[in-house]
Amino acid sequence: MSTATPANLLEFDLDGLAAFCERLGEKRFRATQLFRWIHQRGADDFGQMSDLAKSLRGKLEGCATVRALPVVAQHMSQDGTIKWLFDVGAGDAVEAVFIPEDDRGTLCISSQAGCAVGCRFCSTGHQGFSRNLTTGEILAQLWFAEHFLRRHLGTAERVVSNVVMMGMGEPLQNYAALVPALRVMLDDHGYGLSRRRVTVSTSGVVPMIDRLAQDCPVALAVSLHAPGDALRDKLVPLNRKYPLDELMAACQRYLAHAPRDFITFEYCMLDGVNDQPEHARELIALVERHRTQGVWCKFNLIPFNPFPASGLKRSGAPQVAAFARLLADAGIVTTVRKTRGDDIDAACGQLAGDVKDRTRVAQRIALQRQVPLQPAGGLAAGG
């Protein structure tokens, strides 16, 4: 009997699963059936997969598994936002957040345990970087959330309509694992999401923006946060490697392949740092300098969610409104993001929570392994 570790089928996009099945002597249509069982139906027991040949089910039992991530904690906000903390081993954990709205259900997914970029206003960055997630660990967040939510809400319909790679980590610094995960999200035999409804957020890894445009163009959001290089160098250290003019040029190149005709620029509003009228005027000049078409970008102004190590404060509502008005008067489409899930540390920039204390996380993981979380039929107690 083989002692090899069973392959986790969450690690494969459809082509990868077809290659795996071919090694078992099976044709591609069997891989498609298997893919649907896993992602569309949420099955993790090969015995449930009734339309697979019994011989294939027997082969899979011996060499494969559908292995999700253990859930360390689950919290629900008063506004309906749900946050999960997943154990990824070695004392590391990552978070995913589901945000329900009237016309959509958005899942925010992590791509790394920690983050190496170190943006000054982001608590995840203050945690430091541990490792990249695998394709299966990225997809396991969606797999769990989608099928948990269907059971919880009592529906057979798809619940997650939008995915944003805006959780912990810089997705484009984990490119090899990211792209197969995106392909599963988009695949009609998988989650069948529109390219317009899958968003990769980046702090500006220019070469990988160009690669994504060729390999798997989805909606792109760029964490901008400053109108000039001097300030952005301080807020987003990656800017020292890929300054603003290079980043703006990459965004324009991306538009030739993107499913939308605009790039979203995320802009965290920091009191007295980047929220003054002169900053708005510099942003307008930046947009105009790189304009090659009418509306080529949109701004999303994000309320800062304070944490002690940052030394920063949230801009006041009047200041945010005045800033937004200056951009809008210049013809730039501008929205102010509504803060969601901040009572459970699930809002933008807060995805570290207990993770920032890795000793505490290791203790919580050890405890969870001894006392399993309640099964997916009901929500765990919030905290």
Active site residues: 95, 348
Distance, in Å, from the CA atom of 138 to the CA atom of 94, rounded to the nearest integer, reads: 10
Instruction: Give 145's Cβ-side CA count (13 Å radius).
Output: 32
Rounded to the nearest 5°, which phi and psi values hold at 55? Answer: -65, -40
Q: Find the distance separating the first CA and the last CA of the chain, reported in whole Å.
A: 46
Closest C-alpha among 123, 124, 221, 112 to residue 175: 112
The Cβ of residue 46 has, within 10 Å, a number of other Cβ atoms equal to 20
State which amino acid sits at residue 63: C
Distance, in Å, from the CA atom of 223 to the CA atom of 352, rounded to the nearest integer, reads: 18
Task: Identify any residues that bridge with 300 across adjacent strands, giving them in sequence order.
Answer: 266, 335
What are the structure tokens assigned to 107, written together?
A: 């899942």
Kindly give the pairing relationship between strand 82-89 and strand 71-76.
Answer: antiparallel
DSSP run (H or E) holding 231 = helix 229-235
What are the structure tokens assigned to 17, written together?
A: 């699963």
State which amino acid sits at residue 190: G
What are the structure tokens assigned to 198, written together?
A: 């899958």
SS3 (DSSP) at 169: coil
Q: Going by C-beta distance under 8 Å and a sequence separation of 6 or more, which residues neighbour residue 169? A: 94, 110, 111, 112, 113, 114, 115, 124, 132, 133
